[in-house]
Structure 1
Amino acid sequence: MLPYTEEYFKNYFEDSEPFESIRPSKVWYEERKDFSAKSIGENRVSHADNKGYELLQGKPIFEGELLGGCIDSIYDMLTPYTHKDEPNIIKEYNIFPSLEDWTGKIMFLETSEVKENPETLRKMLLKLREMGLFEVINGIIFGKPQDEVFYEEYKQILTEVVGNNDLPIVYNVNFGHATPRCILPIGVKARVDAINQEITFLENPFMT
């Protein structure tokens, strides 16, 4: 386990000292190209130029309960993009959160190891916009793309598609498929502070 990930992972155990906030990693890592046994013991390639949390628009400080996930999987839940029957199952069993459920939340999104091209990300975000989600949430935190692929392109598309200039968007947060990563607990109220470069939990993750 990478040191940054281990640091935050250990803090979710009940007998650990609670940490005050999640801060950006100083480094980022290229993902492995080979996952076979011959790669055991080989270190990932690290880069000491992680940019920290980038505020793309809106107020630099905002609060809300955390809700979100991998945008590829979210899009699969809403469209027959990968599995034709998935949207019907999601709808039948009310699996996807309603507009009311999203109200006042901080939406966290990240892209997968597929590294979808920018136009596919645009399509995925447009689907969320059509559902009215960007009008009811308190802000967006977006994870670092794996290997920083399409890093600048994703930033541009986010601000273009959201369509709500007042909605805060903080980019390059260390969670999701890119390494290193922390854990964001769904349902916990948090404060995002792009000025001080921290995400602070406003309640105990074990009490929700």
Structure 2
Amino acid sequence: MKFVKPPRLKEGDTVAVLSPSRGLPSRYPQVYELGLRNLEAKFGLEVKEFPTAREDKDVLYNNPGMRAEDVNAAFRDKAVNGVIASIGGDESIRILPYLDSKIIRANPKVLMGFSDITTLTTYVNQLGLVTFNGPMVMAGFSQIDSLPTGFTEHIRQILFGFEPPYEYATFDFYSEGYPEWAEEENLGRVNPPKMISGWNWLQDGSLVRGELFGGCADVLEWLKGTEFWPRSDFWQGKILFLETSEEVPGPLRVKRWLRSYGIQGVFEKIGGILFGRARGYTDAQKRELDEAIVSVVAGEFGKPELPVVTNMDFGHTDPQFIMPLGARAEIDSKNRRFRLLESPVE
């Protein structure tokens, strides 16, 4: 499958903001509105709010078709250049049967979110389009002034275009979660910063290149066994990236999830595995997770030569790398380097 890249964003472009998952903008409007202002002020984008954006959370929960129609409408709208989710949740999988694959496939544009939005980025990627696992309005854009300045430039490079290759580099610090949103003084803030210890290269292999695929591991589990899960031949040559949610699934659970990839033959086909920084883990749990990954990939499925890197800067900690599903990337174990070989936008 050759993935179609969306047009690159430019200052003055319009991005649709909608709520395909949980309706938190109606509960925390100040957090949501700060994210909108930052999209406009930091990147020169125009924001077009779609009907679900501020809809009540119970209304959204009871109407998955309504949420899907906003996605369809955003892709149908010729004035819209990108689609960014307001926030995640835990049941956006319910909107997938209502999505219009023909409309979406015919109108490639930047689509970005993470966590529960993994269902949507996966669905659209399986239609043959490049999608983006990255920050959302209320989780990333709202807090951008509390994060390293390099994060703003990173977003601009990935979504507005760069001259390849693009080498990913760790940020100055990271943070896990946000102080209570209901308290006005916490607006735009993140929890206390933590030092970055670097990536863990668990298994070295040859230099590998392939198209990225992945997202929140918890959410991908819900897609397994459905018509929306990738076919067996899809995995050939891919680089799989996974990260865990704020619900902090333990190393044993992740180990069991990985076994299901192994039994599907995924480890025989892919070029490498990348893991995002595990939010909420102690140092001991992080070591246990690394051991669990190696025990499954190398021990149970006999792939000690498969490159595996963990503790990377994507997922449920801030700031996070934008990971474009369908873009060609490279893992260079010898030089401890991960980079994009092509711009994910045209």
1:18-59 residue CA offsets vs partner (Å, 9 max, x unmatched): 6731112232213225232332254421122x1222110131
SS in 2 for 1:29: coil
Tell me whether 1:154 sits opposite 2:292 in the alignment: no
Q: 1:183–1:15: structure 2 CA closer, same or farther, 3 Å change rule?
A: closer
TM-score by length of 2: 0.52
Tell me whether 1:123 sits opposite 2:123 in the alignment: no
Describe how 1:176-187 pairs up with structure 2 within 5 A. 176-187=315-326
Q: Which runs of 5+ in 2 are unaligned?
A: 1-143
Is the contact between residue 212 and residue 325 of structure 2 (CA under 8 Å) also seen in structure 1? yes
Using the alignment, how far apart are the partners of 1:14 and 1:180 within structure 2?
A: 18
Match of 2:272 among 139, 145, 149: 139
Match of 1:8 among 154, 157, 167: 154
Q: How many residues were matched structurally?
A: 193
Residue number in structure 1 paired with 2:212: 66
Describe how 1:17-166 pairs up with structure 2 within 5 A. 20-38=166-184, 39-48=186-195, 50-59=196-205, 61-78=207-224, 87=225, 90-91=226-227, 95-149=228-282, 150-162=285-297, 163=301, 164-166=303-305
Moved more, 17-26 or 158-167: 17-26
Is the contact between residue 31 and residue 147 of structure 1 (CA under 8 Å) also seen in structure 2? no
- 1 or 2 for the larger relative contact order (CA 8 Å, sep ≥6)? 1
Moved more, 9-18 or 132-141: 9-18
Identical aligned residues as a percent: 30
Q: 1:184–1:22: structure 2 CA closer, same or farther, 3 Å change rule?
A: same
Q: Which runs of 5+ in 1 are unaligned?
A: 79-86
The RMSD of aligned alpha carbons is 2.1
Using the alignment, how far apart are the partners of 1:96 and 1:145 within structure 2?
A: 24
The structure where helix makes up a greater share of residues is 2
TM-score by length of 1: 0.83
